[in-house]
Amino acid sequence: MPADLPVPFNAMTAQKAPLRTHTPRHAPYGWHGCLAAPALMLTGMVLLGGCAQSPARQDTYTTPISTCAYMMPTVSGTRTYTQGLRGASGSPTSGQSNPIDSAVAYGNPQTPAFCDRPLSDTLRSSIELADYTHLLDRTGLFPTLQQAGPFTVFALPNAALETYNTQNGGQLLDPASTSRVRNLLGYTIVTGKWPHKALRAALAAAPGHSLSLPTLSGQALPVWLDTQTEQVMVGPPHGQSSPLWVMGIPQSNGVLYFTRALVLPPAEQAAPGPNTP
């Protein structure tokens, strides 16, 4: 499956809504003002014709020209899908309490990632990385991503972490496993900045189309190019590895990727894990 590129959003293309003015509700109307009103309106137009608009009326939502954004996908909600219960005629089935199709009524919202914000801000805003961010908090790694870096994060999606946690008896949330979980997460955070184009160029030039990148766990993370699918893979070629899902969102202190499956350090390779998000 080819990796999905994030969709760029240019804030400068947004159309601004015109300002609207309303007659003050307290303005009195009476017969005695009918003759004076046209004269007052004409005088006001003459006086205001050459005046500049007050700076106080400027749009408070103006976005700097240098700002860009990408939309981050969300698929976690599909696991709670409920099909609408309907009769043969297409109308809601009589006596059923849930005629609403959740996939239609409650879509999974994408969330924006702004290029001029740090990794810590973007992780907090991503629905699909909620579990990953929670574990970064629990293990004390999150403040590291608030620093200047740069860092390249290969973030693990919700489904991969939750399946692994279920298969291992809830160890990801066990206080006794904090050191182990910290090592697992540190293995997904590379020291250095690797945008997607630079990563592909380095892989194309490297022997065997493979790189070993330094991580916060102290272990090298293999990143390699699958020559059959042309996909960038993360993790050992002969172990549990994952294709990339989101191809490198620029951040002020690094780059953010999503993986499609779990990426485990060598000591954890024997443990079971999911293959898809």
- pLDDT tens string 85-96: 655 454 554 445
Q: Is 250 helix (H, G, I), strand (E, B) or coil?
A: strand
DSSP label at residue 17? P
Nearby residues of 118 by Cβ (< 8 Å), 6 or more positions away: 145, 146, 251, 252, 253
The domain ranges of the chain are: 114-265
Neighbours of 34 (CB within 10 A): 9
Sheet holding 221-226, edge to edge: 189-191, 151-155, 254-259, 242-251, 231-234, 221-226, 210-213
45 or 115, greater pLDDT: 115
Least confident of 48-62, 125-139, 169-183: 48-62
The lowest-confidence range among 75-89, 174-188, 201-215 is 75-89
Provide the mean pLDDT of the chain. Answer: 74
- pLDDT average, residue stretch 124-131: 90
pLDDT tens digit string along 191-202? 999 999 999 999
Lowest-confidence range among 27-31, 187-191, 252-256?
27-31
Regarding pTM above 0.85, the answer is: no
Q: Region 10-38: what's the mean pLDDT?
A: 44
The CATH superfamily of 114-265 is: FAS1 domain (2.30.180.10)
270, 206, 195, 192: which is closest to 236 by C-alpha? 270
Does the pLDDT at position 134 exceed 70? yes
Residue 31 pLDDT greater than 50, yes or no: no
The whole-number pLDDT of residue 133 equals: 95
Q: How confident is the model at residue 14 (pLDDT cuts 50, 70, 90)?
A: very low
The C-alpha atoms of residue 188 and residue 200 are separated, in whole angstroms, by 18
Summarised one tens digit per residue, pLDDT across range 193-246 is 999 999 999 999 999 898 999 999 999 999 998 888 888 989 887 777 888 988
pLDDT at residue number 39: 53
Q: What is the pLDDT of residue 116?
A: 83
